[in-house]
Amino acid sequence: MRKVGVALTALLVLTGCGQNAGEGGLKDAMAAVSGEGPAAAYFEYGEPAWWRDLGVKAGAEQARRWLPASVSGLGSLATAAAALPEATGMTPTAGTRAISIGVPPQQAFRFDGDVDADAVREKLAALGAKPREMGGHDGLSFSPGDEIDLSRALVPGVTNQLNQVVVTDSLVATASAPDPLTSVLGGDATLADKPAYAAMATCLGDVAAATIMTSPSKTVTLYGVGLRRPADLNDRPVNVICVLPAAPAAADVERALTTRLTPAGTYGKHAAQIAHDRVTSDDHTVLRAVLTLNDTTNAMFANQMLVRGDLQTLTTS
């Protein structure tokens, strides 16, 4: 019986429990943005409401290690999140989900949830924003493009991320320029409609924080990292790493990933358990590593690996 229990536990860790892999949160978010714009280069997702319900908030000692996950999806606005409500009326951390797409200067942000649209419009207008139609949406604009106006410091950490804004009672979308703003509001062909990205969502599974981005190398097409939903604040974080290799380099990339990312190597001090497998979806085979982190490791460790370039180094043969 013990062997059966261990095997079942390993299977649940690999596949992710809860909703079907990639469905619901992450895949729905990918279906909300255009697949033809900057989201194809960089897509970041988070669920502020889910983390709030779990008890993750500033000042809660037990929740401290999960705080970085609670601002996933805010992108470069994460550092400004605390100051945004008073200055702009926007409260991204009070939303149900957060999405950021693209890289500077083509970046955009979207926060879904209950919004006091009139309050946001009033504050932005007082700061100098002017009415403007963008992609068929009535919005407000501080600048016609992605210019950075150093004389207009809305809040610390904000340069041109709020140049263009569309606000309704259910969402706030902001961007550096009109085109990425239109992209973050959706399109006929969404990111979820692209088979390679749908395969990444399937690989990541039921996550409450995730990032998918293109690779600068010719051997890897996409990287994805995510944080599985913990059952409670005392759970050990489970990180997921997904790598979609270019077909000609698949064997070399898999060999590099599975031999370098192991508990016996450098990464063992961060994750005592590391399991590798493959996920196939729509003729795409994605390499997956599932890391059960140690007690002191940052809950967003896989995301740190991606940002620092460690993951890219690991998969280079």
Output the pTM of the full model.
Answer: 0.90
Q: Which pLDDT belongs to residue 64?
A: 92
Q: Which pLDDT belongs to residue 145?
A: 73
Q: Which pLDDT belongs to residue 50?
A: 95
Query: Is the Cβ–Cβ distance between 237 and 65 less than 8 Å?
Result: yes
Segments of the chain scoring below 70 in pLDDT: 1-24, 150-151
Query: Is the Cβ–Cβ distance between 46 and 97 less than 8 Å?
Result: yes
Q: Which pLDDT belongs to residue 289?
A: 98
Q: End-to-end distance of the chain based on CA atoms, in angstroms?
A: 41
**68 cis-preceded (ω within 30 degrees of 0):** no
Give exposure, 44-81, as e/b (b: 16+ Cβ within 10 Å): bbbbbbbbeebebeeeeeebebbbbbbbbbbbbbbebb
Q: Residue 117: is it exposed, middle or buried by C-beta count within 10 angstroms (0-12/13-18/19+)?
A: middle
Q: Which pLDDT belongs to residue 158?
A: 85
Q: Which pLDDT belongs to residue 105?
A: 86
Q: Which pLDDT belongs to residue 12?
A: 39
Q: Which pLDDT belongs to residue 159?
A: 84
d(CA 93, CA 69): 11
Q: Which pLDDT belongs to residue 11?
A: 38
Enumerate the domain spans of the chain.
2-20+190-314, 37-184
